[in-house]
Structure formats: structure tokens, C-alpha cells
Amino acid sequence: AEPMPELGVNQKISAASTIATAARDMRAAFDELDSYNTPIQNVYPPMVKIKTAITNITVRIAASGMALGNEVITLTQNGSNDVYGAFAPVFVAITTLRSLLQTGLSVPMSAIASQNNVTRDKLTINFGDLVRRLNTLNTTLDTLSKGLAAARSISGSSPTVTVSISNLNKFVTPVMYTDVKDALLAIKATLGSTINIATELIGNIADADDFISTISSAAMDEMDIVGGNDLMFDEEMVNIGASIGLAVTDMVNQLYTPQTDIFFTNQSDLESISTYNTSMKPTLTALNTTLNSVYNYTGLFTNYTVTLNGSIASTASIDNLFKTEFCPVIVAQISSLLASGPYATFCYKKYSDLLTNQFSITSYDQVECKDIEKTRLYVLQQMADLIVRMIIYDVENLTDAISVCIKLSDGSHCMTAMSIHYTTLAGTVRGKMAYLEEYTVQETGFTLQRLSLCVTSAKYAQVIAVEGFRVDMASCDISGANAV
């Protein structure tokens, strides 16, 4: 059963029930203030600092406010006839909460102000309103306690004497009860603003925490894409180098070497031709040296990838671009949320996805640069294949031509005539092999320049885009939807 409604006197006072109900409502509001302690996932120091500060504020105000509500409820159930003794805990609770609001929250309030003064100023105004409501409650309770004490005083000295309704009506008016009830409900109403300020900030902290998780994941995902693409690019470059070298060695192994094997088999016949040693053999020796001294194209392209990975087109460079250019704008977005200005949520919803998507745009531009250059290098590989084919034209009929001389009874004139042509062809083979080497070496240098140019252009395009976000976000913080 509900306790007898009393207010420090031995008499049932019906108005005490309405005061108790108001006190419960007020206590529930203070309890609600402590129900928004959402955990955060990321240890970003400014965010943790603000979260700790607002949690400290709400928890302490809630505890003190609920204690006040409990004391008022206890007062409505106190029939001790010790009026001032019954009211004293309530006054102590009011003083405690008032002191907390006035001076007891300076440390967490300073922490909040370190990010921005908007929330601190809103809380300062709200705390002032709460203090005024507490002063009103203190005044109305003081007036009521004095009336009740006077009624108790004229009712006799016995500690258990019943204070008559007529004595109460002499000193306590209905308005006194109503004033206490209204003061309690005014505190509850003002606390609604406290809850709104706290929930807005805590909601913004939650958004900031989610933004950090989302954009960090986006950045790491894109870096994984860039890193994976770079690895494939490096592997493809080595493959292109190997393919160019293989085109030459395949030509030697499949076309030239079988022909020289025939020469070895017919060496005695060749040596019997008087002009072979002086006219044709030196040419064949030189040609053999040229075709068997294949440049290390695989090593060339491997070194190219090493140089590339130390250039602006490297994965590390893109990682640095993300950190250098994106981080300040990300911090600005988080700071806007933590400042909890009037447009913070709107600006966050407007720009957070755009900023997150910029990572994929940036990585796409970087990847595209290498895809374009890869296509160009395939053309280099095709050109190398064409040069090798031209070399094949110079040596593919070598055995057939010289074999004609062997069949003659005196092949010396034939061998001399053949050597004139093959001396020239051997020279062209050396020239083509040298050209292939020189051109490929040059192109690997040029491709690095082209790739670096493309990446540099893409980089500064993203710098412009990100800087645009920074400027627009700052304008949004000031003007909201009206920002240009």
C-alpha cells in the first residue's frame, strides 16, 4: 500500500500526493538523462575527451537530481512532526545539485569547450535555468515548511500529536502546495533541454565514431585495391620484359641454333671451301655472338618496378596522399560533429558520403594511370616482336643459301659472293638487336615519366576536390543549407 501522504506532520495531506507524483516525474527525467551513454569504437583522443566529459556531466547531474527526487518523495511520506528535520534533507539535496551545476562541472565543461564553445555555451545557459528553477523550488519549500511548522507548533507539544486540518488551513494555503508541485515540474521541463543538448552531442559523437570507422575502412579497402593493382602491374611489367627477352631467345633456339647445328655437321665440307674461313666464317661467328648475347630485359623491367615503387606513382605515395590531403578534411568533419553546432548534423549528412567516396575516386584515378601505361607497354612488346620478326627474315634462309655453295665442285666464288650479303645482314642484325635494346631501355624511362605525369595530375585533381570539400564544409558549418 502507498504510504500515508504527509509532509513532516502527522496528518494526511492530499496535496502531498500531487507533489510526490511531480517528484517522481522529475526523478524519471533525471534518470533519462543518464540513459544515453552509447559506447564508441574508435580511440580518437578529441572524441574520447568529449565523450568522457558529457558522460561525466550527465551521470553526475542525473545522480544528484535523482537524489533530490528521492528526498522529496521521502518528505511526502514523513509524518514525524519534525517539520524542519523532515525538510532538511531536501534543502541539502537542492544545495548539492545547485553547487554541482554552478561550480562542480568545470573540468568536463572545459573539456567540451576545448573542442568548441557551442555546446559549452548551451549547457551553461541551461544550467543557469536549472539553478533558477532550483532556487524557486527552494523558496516554495521554505515557504511551505514554515507554514507547516507553524501549524505543527500550535497543535501541542506531543511528538505524536495529530495536526488538525483547521490548524493547517490557518498557515498553509493550497497555492503553497501547488507552487512546490509546479517548481518540480518546471525543473523537469528545463531538464528536457539538458537532455536535448546531451543527446544531440552524444548522437554527434556516435556519428563521428561511425564516420571514423566507415572512412577508415574505405581508405584501407582502397589501399588494398591500389596495393593489389600495383602488385599485378609489377608482375605484368616483369612478364613483358620476360616476353621480349623470350622472343629473342626463342628465335635463336628454334630457328638459328638448328641451322648452326647443320653447319657443325657439315663443318668439313665448309672448311674445304677455300674462301669460307676468310669470307664467311668471321661473319657467322659475329652473328652467333650477337644472337647469343641477349640483353637482360627481365632485369630491366624488374629494376623499372623498383624505381616505380620509389616514385610518386607508388603505393606508398598514394597512402601518403590519403594521409596528407584527406586527414585534415576528415578531422574537420569530426570536429564539426564534436562542436555540435546548429548545422553539424546536416553538414555531416551532406558531406560524409561524398568524402568517403572520394577515396574510391582517387584510387580509381591512380589505378587507371597504370592501366593506361600497361596498354602502352603492350605496344612496346608488340614492337619488339616485330623487330624480332625482321631479324628472322635476315637469318631464316642462312642454311639453305650456304648449302648451295657446298654442292658446287668449287664453292669458293659462291661463298665469297654469299659472304658479301651476309656480312651486311649480320650488321643489320646487330643494329636491330642494339636498337631493340636501346629503344626498350629508353621506353622504360619514358613510361615512368608518363606514369608519373598521369599520377601527378590525378593527385592534384584530388587535392583540388578535397580542398573544395574543406571550404564547403566550413561554409556549411556557418550557414547550413544556405551555404553557397
pLDDT tens figures, 403-442: 899 899 899 999 999 999 989 988 999 999 999 999 999 9
User: Under DSSP, is residue 77 helix (H, G, I), strand (E, B) or coil?
Assistant: strand
93 pLDDT more than 90: yes
Predicted confidence at residue 227, as pLDDT, reads 87
Contact 264, 211 (CB under 8 A): no
pLDDT on residue 3: 52
* C-alpha pair distances (Å), 4 with each of 12, 79, 150, 407: 6, 8, 21, 137
Share of the chain above pLDDT 90, in %: 59
Q: Could you tell me how many residues make up the chain?
A: 484
Give the DSSP H or E segment for 338.
helix 327-339
Report, as an integer, the average pLDDT of 4-9: 85
Distance in angstroms (rounded) separating the CA atoms of residues 137 and 131 = 10
C-alpha cell at 324: 596528407
**Is the CB of residue 184 less than 8 Å from the CB of residue 72?**
yes
Indicate the pLDDT class of residue 484, thresholds 50, 70 and 90: very low
Q: Mind listing the pLDDT tens digit for each residue in 50-62?
A: 999 999 999 999 9
Q: Is 233 exposed, middle or buried (0-12, 13-18, 19+ CB in 10 A)?
A: buried
Helix (H, G, I), strand (E, B) or coil at 193: helix
* pLDDT above 50 (res 296): yes
Q: What is the pLDDT of residue 4?
A: 67
pLDDT tens, position by position, 283-292:
888 988 888 8
297-347: pLDDT as tens digits: 999 999 988 888 887 777 888 888 888 888 899 999 999 998 888 889 999
Cβ pair 66, 97 in contact under 8 A = no
What is the band of 366 on the pLDDT scale with cuts at 50, 70, 90?
confident
